[in-house]
Each structure stands twice: as structure tokens, then as C-alpha cells.
Amino acid sequence: MVRWAVLPVSLANAERFRDVTGRIHEAVEAAVTEADGRLLACRIVLQGRTAVHDQLVASEDRILAEARAGALGLGGDVAWVEKVVIDSQPEVDAETRAEREDAIGELQRLLQEATGDDALLAQIEGDIGKLVRQLPHEVRGDIEDSALKAAVDGGYAALIGEVSPYLSARLTAQGD
């Protein structure tokens, strides 16, 4: 018998990556206790504003590996982490980043303007649209990723909106 759970994990006041992994471990451990000896299969949802948002977005594979390792550390056949959903927000929003007087601020302003740049959207359509049209139909029809869905649907302004936070996060993420 398996127990399924979605585990919301608050990241309020999390300052370091290890704070996040510690909270994940605590949430999984508590859920294992509630599972009454059954295998726990879970999805972890990271929520809230945090100083480590950019680092999390930039290292999704690492956070999943850490969560799975923590679950395995509780014992064999005790818990399994299906995936980690990063639903957190950065402490500094896009508008504040755009006010910066450095390369990050300039990039943020360019990304904000890009959704209305017809020439850029046409170029993206030419480049990405060609790739998307080469995907097998069955791949194009069953897409969960919002950025890929925007590309497949030809919503290139939406695509820019989807990838902008990721790009900003990758460029501003700081290691622990």
C-alpha cells in the first residue's frame, strides 16, 4: 500500500540552500510518520518569497536530487519523491531588478520590452517555430511545460514572459 501526498514547504526566511533542504527533509519525515508504515510517494511544493529563489530555479535537478537523497536516508522503501515544484518568488521582483544600473538591470529592461518587439518576435518565430514544427505530433499534443507550450502554440511573447524569470534567476543565482 502506498500513500500519496503533496507536501507544501514554506520558504519564508530561508536564507541558504541548506535551509531549503532541511525544510524538505522535515516535511518528508513528518509525512512518513503520518503514513503509518506505508510507502510515502510525494510531490514537494516549495512556496513563498525567499533569498534563495534564484538559486533554486537555477538548480532544479540539484534540489530534486537532494530531496530524493533525504528521503532515501530515512530508510529503504519509506519515501519516494516524485518531483519538486518550485513555486517560490524572489525577494526582489522584476520591476525592482529593472531599476538596477548594471547589466542585470539592463537585461531585465530588455526582457520587459521584448514582448512588444515585433521584429524580435518574428525572428523567434522563424527560429523556434521551425524547430517546433519538426517535433512529432504526439510530443506537441501532450505538453505540460508552460514555456514549451507557448512555443508550440506560437505564443512567442508569452514564451519570452515564461523564460524571463528563469533567465534572470540563472544570471543572478549565487552559490551557497
Ordered alpha helix ranges (H), the chain = 17-34, 53-58, 60-72, 94-98, 103-114, 118-133, 137-141, 146-152, 156-172
Same domain, 10 and 85: yes
Domain end residue (candidates: 72, 90, 108)? 90
Give CA–CA dist 53/90, Å, rounded: 5
Give CA–CA dist 113/109, Å, rounded: 6
Give CA–CA dist 96/11, Å, rounded: 21
Same domain, 55 and 123: no
Give CA–CA dist 21/142, Å, rounded: 32
Same domain, 119 and 47: no
Give the structural domain span for 72. Answer: 2-90
Give CA–CA dist 165/13, Å, rounded: 21
Same domain, 112 and 50: no
pLDDT at 147: 82
Can you give 136-171 as a three-state secondary structure string?
CHHHHHCCCCHHHHHHHCCCHHHHHHHHHHHHHHHH
Is the confidence at residue 131, as pLDDT, over 90?
no
Q: Mark 160-174 as b/e (b = at least 16 C-beta within 10 Å).
A: bbbbbbeebbeebbe
Mean pLDDT computed over 24-34: 96
Mean pLDDT computed over 72-95: 89
Q: What is the pLDDT of residues 133-143, one digit of tens each?
A: 888 888 777 78
> Total structural domains in the chain?
2
Domain end residue (candidates: 41, 64, 90)? 90
Q: What is the pLDDT of residues 160-169, one digit of tens each?
A: 888 887 887 7
Same domain, 84 and 164: no
pLDDT at 175: 46
Same domain, 6 and 31: yes
Q: Is 35 helix (H, G, I), strand (E, B) or coil?
A: coil
pLDDT at 176: 42
pLDDT at 46: 97
Mean pLDDT computed over 75-86: 92
Give CA–CA dist 172/62, Å, rounded: 17
Per-residue confidence band for 120, with pLDDT thresholds at 50, 70 and 90: confident
Domain end residue (candidates: 38, 58, 90)? 90
Q: What is the pLDDT of residues 45-72, one digit of tens each?
A: 999 999 899 889 888 899 999 999 999 9
Cell numbers standing for residue 133: 514544427
Same domain, 161 and 118: yes
Mean pLDDT computed over 92-121: 84
pLDDT at 65: 96
